[in-house]
Structure 1
Amino acid sequence: MNNRLSYFDNAKFFLIFLVVFGHIIRPFIDESNVMLTIYKFVYTFHMPAFILISGYFAKGYNKKGYVSKIAKKLILPYLIFQGIYSVYYFAIEKQGATVLDPLDPHWSLWFLVSLFFWNVFLFGATKLSPKWALLVAFTLGISIGYFDVVSNYLSLSRTFVFFPLFLIGFYLKKEHFAFLTKPNNRVISMLVLAVTFVSYFYLDFDYEWLFGSKPYSQFGEPSIFNAFIRMGFYTLTLITSLSFLALIPKRRAFFTEWGTRTFYVYLLHGFIIQYMRTNEVIEWLGDYRSIALLTLLSILLTSVLSTKTVKEIASPIIELKPSHLYIKPSSLNK
């Protein structure tokens, strides 16, 4: 495996760890300013950086059968897990009726729907020059907030809000990442992230701006000022995402292979965390709340869900492929 591929696998591992970590600390942000600051900081760049990388690897969008391939890879698992999560939430919360709406993504499943749309959008975006394509994408991402009808349903709001980042990733080349990871740029990136983190202790803003899932009316009376706020978040998100990616190691490490299985972590960690939130586990964590403990728990959960064993067990419902665990040894020799 060359350094370029190792770099991206390393990046995906660190980013999926931050996804898990962000979800684990969520119950504590209302009681701790430190937790809230960390939460805002992580959400500023962890999914945007994931989206940039996804765009970078979408360069084969115009190959024959590409759309059907990503539909099978993204939409089918989405529909399967949308149903599983609906039943699971009903089982662990034991309240209300089971609501199965395939067009209203549960929790983190929005990313699968949006990722499918972003890939499809490339067919239209690439008919324009990069400059005009990005201008249209950013204009749509900013304007969509004025329409109350566009929200979490079908993940439409996030799809339009984050598409510019996906498109930037699509236009990035390996030379850009080589430049980004130069020693001098890494020092600058560390300073940028440090300044951003410290600033968040003093900046008071609604963290749901970072989600991109709600119209402007959810934050007060819509005005022209909302467009400038979103432009500000676009700038901050892009700078911090690139700064984070600048710090990723390029060489193969023990966790590099785990970075190839982030799809499994993304889909499966919600079952564990939602269970923790609705049972005494989260109360225990509340009694022994510490960044170190929550970080270790996040590392453990991410690492376990990244193992080959979990992949073999879950591959039939995630990749719709038979697992070697369910194939008789005699049949493998035929």
Structure 2
Amino acid sequence: MNNISLSKYQSNKDNRLRYIDATRGFAIFLVVLGHVLNIGMNNYDENHFLHRLIYSFHMPLFFFLSGFVSYKPLEKWSFLFFIDYIKRKSVQLLLPTYLFFVTATVINSGDVLSCFYNTGVNKYWFGQALFQMLVVYGIISVLCNRFSSRLFIPLLFMACLTRCLCFFVDHEPIFYRVFVLRETFMNMYFFIFGLLVSKYKNIFAWIFCNERVRGIAIFTFIVCMIYIYQPYAYGLLVKLSDQFLLRVSGVIFVFSLFIKTGQYWNGNQFIARLSNFIGKRTFDIYLIHYFFIPDLSFVFPYLNCKQEIALEILLALSVSIVIMAFCLIVSFVLRSNRLTGLCILGIIKK
């Protein structure tokens, strides 16, 4: 335990942490799998076991990883650095988000302005939510750099408290929808959690590399999953289990598991190299995959029973793999040209 480090398996070629890319690859696969089950099979049920299992932690994991890789030392955060940073992130996140939202809406014969008014960017909310978190983080960092670094933790804690606002908003006003504030507030503390883990690597290395912590995390996850489905489950405890404990324990377990197997993800095995490659294309896949989700609603009635859950998973896994393959092909084609890469996917080549 004396030599543990979250940067132990950093690649010498591109200075990337390969287990981070592998974790992102795993997370985007869960995103595609969840959408195949819910959208493709027309099986959107928050109480469905597979839905709760996948959705309990896959997006929180994404925001946690985004926070982890986004951290920069406070001394870098001058006002000019902040302006340049936000310009780059607006191209990388907002440009493709709005482009794909408009394209998807037009293809589905929808009214773009009406859809935007009612749902914001709808299913493409991740890019905008992440951009807004980066803006908040940048503002906090600039203030801390200008006045005092001691403000960093208190200000981040105050940002985390935005999660509480979700409990008081039943009917979302227009600005709440347009700025996807519900999704931003619900995932803000995972983004900040990632920032803190990256800032205090030496402290958190002990936590994430500890077998007991990993055991407690998976035990908590299983207990919460079981408790939620019990008829005697109390409403407030169900919310605590579903909205907090499941998500936090899931993120801690998955992240610590990929750290534990970091040596494998840093190797040259096919699965390791494929996972690392997918991890570098997660936002591309997120944007593109909606166009390839087939209509499998005709299949779901035959799978709508507990005995067929294994077949449902097998079918969804197979379809998800094919969808991701198509997404990577489209991503490769778009990235092969500098202009299309920039205008469609927001790729800024150095």
Counterpart-to-counterpart distance in 2, 1:121 and 1:22: 29
State the match for 2:4 in structure 1. none
State the match for 1:99 in structure 2. 112
> What is the letter of the counterpart of residue 52 of structure 1?
F
Contact 2:102–2:112 (CA<8 Å) still a contact in 1?
Answer: no
> What is the letter of the counterpart of residue 10 of structure 2?
N
State the match for 2:104 in structure 1. 85
Moved more, 43-52 or 138-147: 138-147
State the match for 2:344 in structure 1. 318
Contact 1:181–1:246 (CA<8 Å) still a contact in 2?
Answer: yes
From the superposition, tell whether residues 45 and 59 of structure 1 become closer, same or farther in structure 2 (CA, over 3 Å).
same
Matches within 5 A, 1:129-144: 129-144=151-166
Matches within 5 A, 1:34-113: 36-60=48-72, 62=77, 64=81, 65-90=84-109, 97-100=110-113, 102=116, 104-113=119-128
State the match for 1:6 in structure 2. 18
State the match for 1:327 in structure 2. none
Contact 1:40–1:200 (CA<8 Å) still a contact in 2?
Answer: no
Counterpart-to-counterpart distance in 1, 2:312 and 2:104: 29
Deviations 1:137-174 (A, max 9, x none): 23322034424426432212222232222112111124
The answer on 1:296 being equivalent to 2:318 is: yes
Counterpart-to-counterpart distance in 1, 2:227 and 2:66: 29
From the superposition, tell whether residues 184 and 8 of structure 1 become closer, same or farther in structure 2 (CA, over 3 Å).
same
Kindly report structure 1 stretches of 4+ aligned residues shifted beyond 6 Å. 225-228
From the superposition, tell whether residues 111 and 227 of structure 1 become closer, same or farther in structure 2 (CA, over 3 Å).
farther
Instruction: Indicate which of 298, 307, 310 corresponds to 1:283.
Output: 298
After superposition, the CA RMSD in angstroms is: 3.3
Unaligned runs of 5+ in 1: 91-96, 206-224, 324-334
How many equivalent residue pairs? 288
From the superposition, tell whether residues 299 and 191 of structure 1 become closer, same or farther in structure 2 (CA, over 3 Å).
farther
Matches within 5 A, 1:1-334: 2=10, 5-26=17-38, 27-30=42-45, 36-60=48-72, 62=77, 64=81, 65-90=84-109, 97-100=110-113, 102=116, 104-126=119-141, 127=144, 129-147=151-169, 148=171, 149=173, 151-173=176-198, 174-175=201-202, 176-177=204-205, 179-202=207-230, 229=239, 233-248=243-258, 249-250=261-262, 251-252=264-265, 253-254=272-273, 255-273=275-293, 276-277=294-295, 281-284=296-299, 286-287=301-302, 290-305=312-327, 307=328, 309-315=329-335, 316=340, 317-320=343-346
SS at match of 1:129: helix
Moved more, 16-25 or 52-61: 52-61
> What is the letter of the counterpart of residue 261 of structure 1?
R
Contact 2:218–2:249 (CA<8 Å) still a contact in 1?
Answer: no
Contact 1:12–1:50 (CA<8 Å) still a contact in 2?
Answer: yes
> What is the letter of the counterpart of residue 234 of structure 1?
F
From the superposition, tell whether residues 232 and 321 of structure 1 become closer, same or farther in structure 2 (CA, over 3 Å).
closer
Contact 1:79–1:102 (CA<8 Å) still a contact in 2?
Answer: no
Counterpart-to-counterpart distance in 1, 2:313 and 2:242: 29
